[in-house]
Amino acid sequence: MFEQLVEIFTSVAFYAAVIRLTAPLLLAAMGGLVAERAGIITFGMEGMMLMGAIGGAVGSYYTGSVLGGLAFAMLAGMFLALLYGVMCVSVGANQVVSAVALNLGALGLSSTIFALVFSNRAVGVVTEVVSVPSMQPVKIPLLGDIPILGDILFNQLPLVYLALISVPIVWFVLYRTTIGLKIRSVGEHPHAADTVGISVVRVRYLSVLFTGLMAGLAGALLSIGMLNTFQENMSAGRGFIAYTAIIFGKWEPLGIFLGTLLFGLADAIQLRIQALNLPIPYQFWVAFPYLVTLLALVLFVGKATWPAASGQPFKREGK
């Protein structure tokens, strides 16, 4: 068994899988970070990912194109984000409760679409699953030929590259642009931002829509990237893990990247360990990434410094 473990942890394929499994978490978390910095709790990313997954599969199926699938995925994620924005920004509803309702609604809606489009059902049993066009890995010239590192980082799916470059891009936008300054000011002191002419409502809506777009792409990575079809509840809690990574990373892009990398590593470990047929119930290994997530919450939530106006509805003074 020891030899098998050594073989796993010295395998290039294992570390390539870590990066691949990290990518959907990282896409969603980078999108969620922007809305979090604007004062919106992004607990609803699970539902946005799920709608992105079904949207990507439906779009790829009907258009016969991966690009069509990506377009549908982004629209599906943004549609759910818009609903969340209406509840949280316009209505001023409790953001956590709204997110729970959103996640449950996405679960039911995605399952219904799946039943109508991808399967024939007989007494509630799936009798046929339709495959859809899916993404293929793209090897980056020259970089892909670097020993070991080339196979790990530079022979991946296009959305994996997008996830990786989103980290410096989001950091730059948040900390080196006027747009980022507006986002952060709205999340820390919305009334002061409103006083100097920043539209708090507009900034929060656009931030939530960006979260939906990125979570939709994360879902598409699951359905038309890692698989070539849709499975019910295929996000499987990854949206919640992405939310945990934001807390783990203390609302900073680099910290969030390290958090998602940790959870991607845990996911890759459980997939490889299950194949060893160890005398440990497989359910433990299936739960392993979520146990890591729970441990991270226990260790870091109490130490986290949330954006000052996080979860607080905004109403202009005098109204």
Residue 168 lies inside a defined structural domain of this protein: yes
Residue 272 lies inside a defined structural domain of this protein: yes
Q: What is the pTM of this model?
A: 0.93
Nearest-Å Rg of the Cα atoms of the chain is 20
Residue 83 lies inside a defined structural domain of this protein: yes
CATH number at residue 294: 1.10.3470
Under a CB-based contact definition with an 8 Å cutoff, are residues 273 and 63 in contact?
Answer: no
Residue 314 lies inside a defined structural domain of this protein: no
Query: pLDDT tens, position by position, for the chain (319 residues)?
Result: 677 777 778 889 999 999 999 999 999 999 999 999 999 999 999 999 999 999 999 999 999 999 999 999 999 999 999 999 999 999 999 999 999 999 999 999 999 999 888 765 544 555 456 788 889 999 999 999 999 999 999 999 999 999 999 999 999 999 999 999 999 999 999 999 999 999 999 999 999 999 999 999 999 999 999 988 898 899 999 999 999 999 999 999 999 999 999 999 999 999 888 777 777 777 888 888 888 888 877 877 666 788 999 999 998 765 5
Residue 162 lies inside a defined structural domain of this protein: yes
Residue 308 lies inside a defined structural domain of this protein: no
189 Cβ contact list (under 8 Å, min separation 6): 308, 309
Shortest CA distance to 203 belongs to which of 186, 226, 178? 186
d(CA 229, CA 296): 32
d(CA 47, CA 256): 20
d(CA 271, CA 203): 40
Which tens digits make up the pLDDT trace of 160-218?
999 999 999 999 999 999 999 999 999 999 999 999 999 999 999 999 999 999 999 99
Q: Which domain holds residue 120?
A: 2-303
How many folded domains does the chain comprise? 1
Judged by DSSP in three states, 122 sits in strand
